[in-house]
Amino acid sequence: MGKKRVVKPTEEELLKEREEIRRRVEEKKEPSKKVKITRGNLYIRATYNNTAITVTDQGGNVINWASAGSIGFKGTKKGTPFAASRVAGFILDKLEKSGPKELSIFVKGIGPGRNAVLKTIANNFAVQVLSVKDITPIPHNGPRPPKPRRV
């Protein structure tokens, strides 16, 4: 086996490739059209350790989100109703500027923050609540138990 020949691109080919890359980058930089969203969904996930809120449009694309941990609470304080109401206030401030004005609320979990979030949203007049639905998963007799041990 002899030497392998490496084909080096010419200067013209390199310039064409560079221009192609620049053109693609410029296409990405163009600002996308912002569509004004009037209706959306607000998902509350309330666990014992944290409370997270996600706002989506009708198609399920995330617009905003926040959790007690993301706004600065640490440790066991994340699971408190106070932290949950702060998270709701934070999300509502974001929604006043950009997000939807009509919300369908979906609550999941049994944490202490779920009622606090609903109260905070109900007291705010910037958004209109269309519906509140509980989507907490309910166990139905569980998995099959293990076989008895044979000795």
Q: What is the pLDDT of residues 99-120, one digit of tens each?
A: 899 999 999 999 999 999 999 9
141: DSSP letter: S
How many other β-carbons are positioned within 10 Å of the β-carbon of residue 22?
10
- As a whole number of angstroms, the distance between CA 91 and CA 112 comes to 18
pLDDT of residue 83: 96
DSSP annotation of 126:
S
CATH 3.30.420.80 holds for 39-134: yes
User: Domain map of the chain by residue range?
Assistant: 39-134
- Would you state the pLDDT for residue 1? 63
Give the ranges where the chain is alpha helix by DSSP (H): 11-29, 81-97, 114-123
- Which parts of the chain sit beneath pLDDT 70? 1, 28-35
State CA 8 to chain mean position distance.
47
Strands 102-108 and 51-57: unpaired
At 126 the pLDDT is 86
Q: Which residue shows structure tokens 């998270």?
A: 87
pLDDT for 151: 87
pLDDT for position 88? 96
